[in-house]
Structure 1
Amino acid sequence: MPSSTIRHIPLESATQHHAHDFHQIVITLCGSSEFEIEGLGGRVNAFSGCIVPANHEHYYSGNGHNRQLILDLPEDAPALTGEHRELVALFDAPRFFALDNPLRHYLAFVESELTQGFDTAATSFQQDRLAATLLGSLKARLGTLPTAAQRRLDLDQIDRFIRRHLADEFRVGDLAKIACLSEAHFSERFRAQTGLSPWQYVRRQRLHAARQLILQSRLPLTDIAIQTGFANQSALSHAIRRSYGLSPRKLRQGSTATITPKNTPSSYSVNLPTSAH
């Protein structure tokens, strides 16, 4: 059975991206980093972190001197199976979080344990125990996903907020505040009502707005990425190519054709941002 792995690394300043078949927790210990997970994210400061579910494309980079604590968690690792199997619910969707004082103290303990130099078997066992404790504490703080209530969310109000902040860094928690719900409760209701997670919904709007700007303007891709909330031109180009099957350049060259993105309703519309940042 694969084990959890806990490691310290700095992140390079150059933006990189990938996806992997295991879950991941990334916590910034010092400095700051940038994370974008399927279209959502932003700056992750010290003692904050993010949850990266398996097979989710994510972009990341470090800002100056930084240090990250990373937990790699295969789905069948002891920290997510057996008596800990309920902890896998943490990875239902990407999330960002901040550590309170008790969890900061626990991180200091984790770091001291990692320097003990156990033999290989003992290290694997200890890292799974440390990971399970951290995951359990995070789950207790972030909450479980309760049964969705009957009251429907006001999607028009949520759409207006997304359009106003399309170029800004915001999180699912910001959308949840509009509905006066916890992030977990909001996410459950949102999926039940739309069939999409909030981050999938926001990403769809950003992609649609980016496509409109590519087809209807001569703005450089760097500016379009900034206006539509992507981390950089590379992130935008990758998302456009994966969703529309064409590079932004070819999409612009074929602007007279009607192109519908894969698995994306063509009837959706969004107001374009009026100015670059």
Structure 2
Amino acid sequence: MPSTIRQLPLESAVKHHAHDFHQIVITLCGSSEFEIEGLGGRVNAFSGCIVPANHEHYYSGLGYNRQLIFDLPIDAPALTGEHRELIALFDAPRFFALDGPLRHYLAFVESELLQARQGFADAQSDRLAATLLGALKARLQAEPPAARRRLDLAPIDRFIAAHLAEELRVADLARIACLSEAHFSERFRGQTGLSPWQYVRRQRLCAARELVTQSSLPLTDIAIQTGFANQSALSHAFRRRFGLSPRSLRKEGDNAPAFEAPTPEPRRALGKRRGSGSTLLP
């Protein structure tokens, strides 16, 4: 069967399904959310994901968006014959970003799609698909294996800082890294020496200490702004971390040592958001 190429927006309602053909989904503008067999992430403009056949996937569009979708049956010419090595792209779900040359190629595909208002001829669809798949395969093969790549902590830190007062889930952080919760937690601990729970707790306490020493906010407000249930919970965690209470630190001034590398805190059972099944971070 031939490949097909289509262009459409995704609805904001979350939908899910599986199908017996492979798929490449590329966001041309706006953003979308995809989760493929537990691997989830936001797909921004000029990024995409690989959806292997028979993999359950959830998806939704975020605001105004436009997607370019390549539907690739297992026996499509773009994946058989002289192109049969390209089938390896679909060994597992994957997210990717497009570089400059591939963005130019997508512009060409879009122009071809506009000219062929009645749709591509079968052979043209497969030729265009095979060129994209070949370029993707070459680029993704050149990337280091996921196990050796370091997590980019900068966007994770920005997300935590922007949502300190809210309930955070491991899934929230894993989504930024485009990893499943289990894979993210393993990689995160291996890189930082801390669990996501310990890391978020450290960020909350560092933010609380800054507010204690550099503002006149009541301690109750500081507790709420940094994600603690109340002033008592903040004071207890603060004393364990820094050796004195927030009130004592504010009285004495910030003469305590600068933030030192944290010692791992005792592990505890993590709560669950009702109905979500995702681990909550304190």
Q: TM-score normalized by structure 2?
A: 0.56
Q: Deviation digits for residues 203-239 of structure 1, max 9, x if unmatched?
A: xxxxxxxxx97xxx685214x44x3xxxxxxxxxxxx
Alignment partner, residue 221 of structure 1: 275
**Are 2:130 and 1:125 aligned?**
no
Alignment partner, residue 14 of structure 2: 15
Deviation, 1:123, is 1.4
**Are 2:168 and 1:114 aligned?**
no
Residues 166 and 67 of structure 1, relative CA distance in 2, 3 Å threshold: closer
Q: Given residue 133 of structure 1, which amino acid in structure 2 is its aligned partner? A: T
Computed over aligned residues only, the root mean square deviation of the Cα atoms, in angstroms, reads 3.4
Tell whether the 8 Å contact from 2:170 to 2:281 is kept in structure 1 after alignment.
no
Q: Given residue 275 of structure 2, which amino acid in structure 1 is its aligned partner? A: L
Whole-angstrom CA distance in 2 between matches of 1:220 and 1:171: 24
Alignment partner, residue 87 of structure 1: 86
Alignment partner, residue 135 of structure 1: 133
Alignment partner, residue 70 of structure 1: 69
Q: Given residue 143 of structure 1, which amino acid in structure 2 is its aligned partner? A: Q
Deviation, 1:171, is 2.7
Deviation, 1:56, is 0.3
Whole-angstrom CA distance in 1 between matches of 2:117 and 2:70: 18
Structure 2 gap ranges (5+): 152-168, 192-268
Residues 132 and 178 of structure 1, relative CA distance in 2, 3 Å threshold: farther
Q: What is the percent sequence identity of the aligned residues?
A: 67
Larger Rg, first or second structure (1 or 2) = 2
Deviation, 1:144, is 7.1
What secondary structure, in the 3-state scheme, does the structure 1 residue paired with 2:115 have?
coil
Q: Given residue 221 of structure 1, which amino acid in structure 2 is its aligned partner? A: G
5 Å matches for 1:1-277? Answer: 2-117=1-116, 123-143=121-141, 165-168=170-173, 169=175, 170-171=177-178, 219-222=273-276, 224-225=277-278, 227=279, 273-275=280-282
Q: Given residue 136 of structure 1, which amino acid in structure 2 is its aligned partner? A: G
